[in-house]
Amino acid sequence: MSMRIGFGYDSHRLVEGRPFMLGGMLIPHHKGGLGHSDADALLHAITDAILGAAALGDIGTHFPDTDPVWKDADSKLLLKHVVGLVRQKGWTVGNVDCTAVLEQPKLRPHVDAMRTTIAALLGTGVEAVSVKAKTNEKMGFTGREEGVCAYAAVLLERA
Ligand code: MG
């Protein structure tokens, strides 16, 4: 069994009047992520971690924000596309562990639905998907609620 690890990070500014997408879910909130796509920082971090594990570049090279095709794009489709790319190279996702950092809204009520959504996109069982949420103790851009960020680690396996 061959294994590769990958790490991903992403952040998006939070602004009034945008839908707040995180972990593939629409989360009720008065602000949402500003971005070319739907600005789902958690799915973007996972997508970058998968690309990183396979050394296939990053999300910006595959989905440039200068390309109108990706305007308001559903990040679930970007993640699904990248899972397909690494699958072509013989890799499957072993597990993913990710952390979102934001002061509010509280994510706990949404974590199980996020895990189910992400597992379906990755083609893994839900037990292979960990989603954690933290505040930043009111420090920095996440603490001031100017933005949301997310980190992800992923394991790819090849028989
Ligand atoms: Mg992003």
Cβ burial, residue 62 (10 Å; 0-12/13-18/19+): middle
Could you give the domains of the chain? Answer: 2-158 (3.30.1330.50)
Residues contacting residue 53 through CB under 8 Å, at least 6 positions apart: 4, 5, 6, 86, 91, 154, 155, 156
Rounded to the nearest angstrom, the distance between the alpha carbon of 90 and the centre of ligand 1 is 26
d(CA 146, CA 141): 5
- pLDDT given for residue 68 in this prediction: 85
Q: Which pTM was predicted?
A: 0.97
- pLDDT given for residue 129 in this prediction: 98
Residue-by-residue pLDDT tens, the chain, 159 positions:
899 999 999 999 999 999 999 999 999 999 999 998 899 999 999 999 999 999 999 999 999 888 888 888 899 999 999 999 999 999 999 999 999 999 999 999 999 999 999 999 999 999 999 999 999 999 999 999 999 999 999 999 997
Rounded to the nearest angstrom, the distance between the alpha carbon of 119 and the centre of ligand 1 is 20
Rounded to the nearest angstrom, the distance between the alpha carbon of 10 and the centre of ligand 1 is 5
Rounded to the nearest angstrom, the distance between the alpha carbon of 92 and the centre of ligand 1 is 23
Rounded to the nearest angstrom, the distance between the alpha carbon of 66 and the centre of ligand 1 is 14
Rounded to the nearest angstrom, the distance between the alpha carbon of 1 and the centre of ligand 1 is 32
- pLDDT given for residue 70 in this prediction: 82
